[in-house]
Amino acid sequence: MTVGKEEKLILVTNDDGLYAAGLRTLLEVIEEFGKVVLISTMESMSGMSQALTVKTPLRVKLLEENEKHRIYACNGTPTDSIKLAVNQLLERTPDWVVSGINHGANASVSVLYSGTMAAALEGCLYGIDSVGFSLNDFSPTADFSVCKKYIRIVMKHLANHPLPKGICLNVNIPSVPKEEIKGMKICRQAKGNWKEEFEKRKDPMGKTYYWLTGLFQNHEPDAIDTDEWALTNKYVSIVPVSVDMTAHEYISDLKKWFRK
Amino acid sequence: MTVGKEEKLILVTNDDGLYAAGLRTLLEVIEEFGKVVLISTMESMSGMSQALTVKTPLRVKLLEENEKHRIYACNGTPTDSIKLAVNQLLERTPDWVVSGINHGANASVSVLYSGTMAAALEGCLYGIDSVGFSLNDFSPTADFSVCKKYIRIVMKHLANHPLPKGICLNVNIPSVPKEEIKGMKICRQAKGNWKEEFEKRKDPMGKTYYWLTGLFQNHEPDAIDTDEWALTNKYVSIVPVSVDMTAHEYISDLKKWFRK
């Protein structure tokens, strides 16, 4: 694969592994915009957040190369994959980092746990325009074709409106037939959390173990400017996400109290 | 251990494992404030961010119990530990979640990768007042005694000023002799990223592997309101951290462009 000077170089990853249907749909659409380097793991890395691999070495293997893309397998987290690609594998800094399409929504506080969005945040930390796409359907056989139109719209937008430093996009697509989608909405992250998070079981030796599970609670189901509301009401949600986690609005209160 | 109605129940964890010196110092100080349930892993979980364990079951073992504390070992990430404790192990919702003291600073964008801060964020998602403490010294033999005074100040503050929903505190302590610390500063997260992130090596079979490494780059070394500046200048930094990652300041621009 050669990347022309005028061509975009696009780094693609996900957290559901190389054989996920969502990743294959993303690759198909994103190749319309430039040359693609895809890097992901053989197995799923869901819920890895922005985890780094520090205790074991990372390995990378070139699996496939043609005139449109190169595909690497890596044994690290989505964040490791982005770091490794940008630092060691790419011919130059990519123009975009695109992650997904995740099997399952990454709305509300899921952004904190998501490997898909961590990859976008990692791209963003390198100063690269980055987006994560997710479909609100966890099943391995989900129909991702509904996503294509919205990926094209978002990437065309990005081509004309580069993102400010430190901001990436979190795009969630409802899992409904194409014709039922009402449009796209710019949103904020809904307030919420997870409850009833474990299933307690006994192993064959009679010892207790726990499986992580859980139900999402939306703390503000009536707020119409959130990503959760958009998804529930069949809109594609777009949330601008910041790598700056400072609660700026609370700084002046804290300053008042800590001034002895 | 019995927890009186008027007593605080405090959940403590870290990401350096049960035998880390920082955790032992934290336990010693935090017991002055109430009854403590400590849960952590046998091994270090550094750089795990807010990762969840979804593919393997979680196990928990009660290691020690006396009138002041209970100590559990868990095989999950710091985030798993907090979830498991709150959902399955504690007699009631704890009053505080306190994480650390981390071996190494968690200033600037390290908050995104930090297991220590992920535990505080997780507590915060449950509506519990939560703090992460870190000492700017990676060595296993770091002197944590300098931290005690500042942990007491922060926890006394918290006892009088509960945090707003969705906000926790990230406290970083410079690694200098007590008498050189100039005070405490309320800060924002410095803008920065990591560069030169890998060491490429050959294994005995001649195959390439990579170790994650890297140097932190502060993008705004002259800004005096950041956590990086505070640490460099021998102040304890306190950053209020939000679970809301929305870049609110960019929503109106996006709305303008996406209104066709």
Shortest distance, CA A3 to any CA of chain B (angstroms): 24
A247 touching B (Cβ < 8 Å): yes
Query: Closest Cα partner for A209 from B48, B43, B65, B61?
Result: B61
Q: Residue B140: in which H helix or E strand, if any?
A: none
From chain A residues 73-112, the ones with a CB under 8 A of any chain B CB are 77, 79-80, 83-84, 87-88, 109, 111-112
How are beta strands A9-13 and A35-40 bridged, if at all?
parallel
- Is the interface score ipTM higher than 0.90? yes
> In this structure, are residues B17 and B44 in contact, taking their beta carbons and an 8 Å threshold?
yes
Chain B window 10-49: which residues touch A at a Cβ cutoff of 8 Å? Answer: 44, 46-49
Torsion of CA A50, A56, A62, A68, to 10 degrees: 10
Q: What is the pTM of this model?
A: 0.96
Which chain B residues are closer than 8 Å to A126 by Cβ?
A: 193
Q: CB–CB of A72/A11 below 8 Å?
A: no
What percent of chain A stands above pLDDT 70? 100
Quote the CA–CA distance of A51 and A180 in Å, as a whole number.
37
Closest residue, chain A, to B126 (C-alpha): A193
Q: Torsion over CA of B75, B81, B85 and B89, rounded to 10 degrees?
A: 0
Place of tokens 């200033």: B107
Mean pLDDT of B1-13: 95
Report residue B140's pLDDT band, with 50, 70 and 90 as the boundaries: confident
Residues of A in contact with B211 (CB under 8 A): 57-58
- Give, in words, the CATH class of A9-191+222-258: alpha beta
DSSP state at residue B209: E
Residue A246: in which H helix or E strand, if any? none
Single-letter amino acid, residue A91:
E
- What residue spans define the domains of chain B? 9-190+221-258
Contact list, B196 vs chain A (CB under 8 Å): 87
Using one digit for the tens of pLDDT, what is the confidence trace for B114-137? 999 999 999 999 999 999 999 999
* CA dihedral of residues A158, A42, B50, B46 (deg, nearest 10): -120
Q: Is B224:A220 a contact under the CB 8 Å cutoff? A: no
Q: Fill in the DSSP letter of residue A108.
A: T
Just give the CATH number of B9-190+221-258.
3.40.1210.10
Count the helices and strands in chain A (H runs, E runs).
Answer: 7, 13
Q: Which residue type sits at A151? A: I
> pLDDT tens digits, chain A, 260 residues: what are they?
999 989 999 999 999 999 999 999 999 999 999 999 999 998 888 888 889 998 899 999 999 999 999 999 999 999 999 999 999 999 999 999 999 999 999 999 999 999 999 999 999 999 999 999 999 998 888 999 999 999 999 999 999 999 999 999 999 999 999 999 999 999 999 999 998 789 999 999 999 999 999 899 999 999 999 999 999 999 999 999 999 999 999 999 999 998 75
For residue B34, what are the contacts with CB-CB under 8 A and spacing of at least 6?
Answer: B3, B7, B8, B9, B10, B95, B96
